[in-house]
Structure 1
Amino acid sequence: MSFNTSSEASSNALYTDLSGYYDLMCVDINYEAQSQTIQRLHQLFGNKGNRHLDLACGTGPHVRYFLDYGYQSNGLDINQPMLDIAQTRCPEAQFSLQDMCTFAVDEPTDLITCFLYSMHYSGEIARLKALIESVYHALSPEGIFCFNAVDKDKINNDSFVRHSADNEGSHFVFQSCWHYSGEGEKQSLRLNIEKTTDNETQIWHDEHPMVAVSFSELQALLEPYFDVYMFEHDYDKIIPLDKTSGNALLVCVKKS
């Protein structure tokens, strides 16, 4: 990743490579709790198979947990440097450089996951439809697709998540937020990184284009292929989605 530098805060809007900072950015994420919850949902709704594929797997933290649970777990991503880190973390897994909207598998899988709202990286409704179709064709009979999503109509543009971390003598502050204009199929994930070393602060900004979809629209896209169950975005307990919630965890069981 490149930064502009100066004695005061500076800005760089160029997107380069996040792989070296990905785990720092996600340091507050409880990967174990997320993986355990999906494992429980798979036991409740799945076909008892143990073949798992993680879409947009990043550096492979979820794959690591599923391997430890006894799954034949693999991953795919469009970022090769992240896959290189994932392969080091999970040497027994197979990782492939593929677009999650158009991916293919050599043999059917029983569980497909897509964590951290990464489904939204499909970017537009047409590609989201392609992702859903790709997942359907990759799943074995009664296999399940688990992912989380945000409802475009319930996004608060003033809300953000912020955390900090120290690494190799530098202090990092990460901030992210959703932004939706109120119309259309495009929203964005706005990311800000501050890196301070020896009292010099560098700032990097980026805006990731994401697909905007309401939960009702998302269900309509999924239902030709899956029986859809929506739950609160809560990794401590499994409870049905409240209609006021803007974040959801979805379990989609492949129709025969």
Structure 2
Amino acid sequence: MRMTEAELAQYKRDGYIVFRGLFSPSEIAILRNETARLSAIEADTVIRERTGGVRSIFRVHEADGATRSAAFGALVRTPRVLEPTRQALGTGEVYVYHTKINTKPAIEGTVWMWHQDYGSWQRDGCPRPDMGTFALMLTDSSEMNGALYVVPGSHKRGRVEPYYDESTSYKFWAVPKRDVIEVLKQSPAPVPIVGPAGTCVLFHCNLLHASGHNLSAEDRWHIYISFNACANAPKFTEKSRPDWVVSRNTKPLPIGPDVLNSGTEAELVRATSPN
């Protein structure tokens, strides 16, 4: 599924583009079942809120590791994900930088502060912002349940030097308050990415984004697939972050078949096997 010229122009202008109804209810059911299974695992790749609920599940796309999943491994290779991502990054050779399911449990799912992904990724050693994220809503998303918010066009400002935020259970690099206020005052109003399960958004690594507390009675589940151009891979050292957040597998990811509609284990495993 390639973006049209108009869609690609919109992505370049706004820093993001939304795709409605890209995945069917049956496909979402497969991925939701996998998310429920993965949420019960105790591993370094499963980050919990301070209250105990699952906040994030990393590294779900690879064929090994505690949180491996054939279904999510197939998802990252589907043409619906890979083709528009390649267009956005301007290259046919991309790899998965990391995968992350943000679960935002009902009531206890907390905020993600305003940040740019490249705020962290530049510190990982990626020399250029030739990176982006493809997010898929596994549940309905609303402003009430902690929707993702984006600031249109904010990617054009380039990277803002971040600070290390320790206010939540997952510590990361966020944009300082003074810079957030400046960007918000000079930009269009933030846009909530809301819609039914199956809705997707592709966004630039310098796009300012955040999400609020889940105040609803239902969990809010999103899968974030972050991609990097192979030519932009960092040089790894003993100080590099773990491979579940900065993948060491930098080989070009081939496009696979669309197999999520069937969901049989054998087909999913075949889809994720090396060529």
TM-score category, normalised to shorter length: under 0.3
Structure-2-length-normalised TM-score: 0.26
Structure-1-length-normalised TM-score: 0.27
Q: Quick check: which has more Rg, 1 or 2? A: 1
More strand by share: 1
Q: Which one has more relative contact order, counting CA pairs under 8 Å at least 6 apart?
A: 2
